[in-house]
Structure 1
Amino acid sequence: MGGTVLIADDHPLFRQALSLAVQRVAPEARIVEAGTLATASRAVGEAEGLRLILLDLKMPGAVGYSGIALLHAERPEVPIIVVSSAEGESAAKEARAFGAIGFLRKDTDLSAIEAAIARALHTGTVPPPPVPAPDQPEDGVRQTIAGLTPTQLKVLLAVLEGQLNKQIAHSLGMSEATVKAHMTAIMRKLDVSNRTQAALVARSLGLDLKH
């Protein structure tokens, strides 16, 4: 079974463990490793034949569920399995809401991790579980955030970090006018009137959670 598997985790030893798990169930797969969200984002854009992403929630550059949202927006056809130390059913639910197909704790038995990897690779582009019609306002906004473009998500994350438009423009390699255009689109999608409200909405939905 060929193709590429991306392992994104900031702990080298755990990346090695996941790499061994992938090799056991898909010995022909090419494995790409990333220790930061920025590196993972570049790898997602450059990898050929990407078939699966194994993603930790907590790594440099990621806040809360932003890593899932960003990588899913960049390659929506590639299944993402979150492997994290985050606890509770809410973490698994939120991970799926932002685009992951599955959630495993880091203390999960290796055999179960291998089974999940094999299942994802064999089924190909696995859609997330069906999302019911929003019954609470935050459900609808969560889906809206999950549907932002990769660039819009990067701009929103920069706003969460307190960066000004000039700083965002410099870090993302675009003009301030382009940043303003993206902010206008973000605020329209989130149905808010300023960047502070946009940041509050994102933070309330878990993009600013630390796991």
Structure 2
Amino acid sequence: MRLLIVDDHTMVLDLMSALFASEKDIDVSTAATYESALKTIETNNPFDLILLDFSMPGLVGLEGVSTVLKQARGCPVALMSGVANRDVAKLALEAGAVGFIPKTMQAKSLINAVRFMASGEVYVPNDFMNAPIDERREHPLARNLSEREYQVLKGLCKGLANKEIARDLELQEVTIKLHMKNLCRKIGANNRTHAAMIARDAGLF
């Protein structure tokens, strides 16, 4: 099996490459940028499967996914992400992707999923697609936040800068600043540092 892994995070790329390279029948290629992925696909296709990180510079949402699908010329493409939701997964499948893999998936399950998709099947974890959407709204601090405001606050509590949050959520930095302003108002925070303190003290994350 020929597998191409595309991810701009070096640690993720190295770990996944080592994981699949340990399988005797899997030949692993990697690409650390969207542009190099397109070039690799053009010069080294056909692959049996392309694993594509949904959140990386140059790949603009589903439009970027469509470009990869077109470049792949029929080679199966699956998305992987740590931030995308089920709506993104559904749209990707409708666009022609053969699967969606959360980055939280365990190693053995990941290998099995890759083999499944490379054999021509479509794969999306049932627990990901069927998990309750609004579980986090049980927390009183999160009830009045929009989904985006909640995601921005979560990134803030991870210590991410606005630019990093914007990249992870595929948004413009100015949009993140607007969400930050709104969520601070809703939870009674004076600034982003205060907002993170309030969220942590309340046990939201």
TM-score of the superposed pair, with normalisation by structure 1: 0.54
The aligned residue for residue 40 of structure 1 is 37
State how far apart, in whole Å, the 1-side matches of 2:38 and 2:68 are.
6
**Conservation of the 8 A alpha-carbon contact between 2:116 and 2:122:** no
After superposition, the C-alpha distances for 1:160-187 in whole angstroms (9 at most, x for unaligned) are xxxxxxxxxxxxxxxxxxxxxxxxxxxx
Matches for 1:184-195 after TM superposition, within 5 Å: none
The aligned residue for residue 8 of structure 1 is 6
Give 1:87 deviation, angstroms: 3.6
Does structure 1 residue 210 correspond to structure 2 residue 170? yes
Match of 1:81 among 74, 78, 81: 78
Give 1:88 deviation, angstroms: 2.4
Question: Where in structure 2 are there 5+ consecutive unaligned residues?
Answer: 125-168, 172-205
State how far apart, in whole Å, the 2-side matches of 1:128 and 1:76 are.
20
State how far apart, in whole Å, the 2-side matches of 1:128 and 1:16 are.
23
SS in 1 for 2:104: coil
Give 1:53 deviation, angstroms: 0.2
State how far apart, in whole Å, the 2-side matches of 1:48 and 1:99 are.
18
SS in 2 for 1:65: helix
The aligned residue for residue 59 of structure 1 is 56
State how far apart, in whole Å, the 2-side matches of 1:127 and 1:118 are.
11
The aligned residue for residue 96 of structure 1 is 93
State how far apart, in whole Å, the 2-side matches of 1:31 and 1:99 are.
23
Give 1:126 deviation, angstroms: 4.6
The aligned residue for residue 188 of structure 1 is none
Question: Where in structure 1 are there 5+ consecutive unaligned residues?
Answer: 130-208
Alpha-carbon RMSD across the aligned residues, in angstroms, is 2.3
Closer/same/farther in 2, CA of residues 66 and 128 from structure 1, 3 Å limit: farther
Identity %: 25
Q: Could you say which structure has the greater relative contact order, defined with CA pairs below 8 angstroms and 6 or more residues apart?
A: 1
Closer/same/farther in 2, CA of residues 46 and 54 from structure 1, 3 Å limit: same
How many correspondences in the alignment?
Answer: 127
Closer/same/farther in 2, CA of residues 109 and 127 from structure 1, 3 Å limit: closer
Structure with the greater alpha carbon radius of gyration:
2
Match of 1:105 among 98, 102, 105: 102
SS in 1 for 2:61: coil
TM-score of the superposed pair, with normalisation by structure 2: 0.55
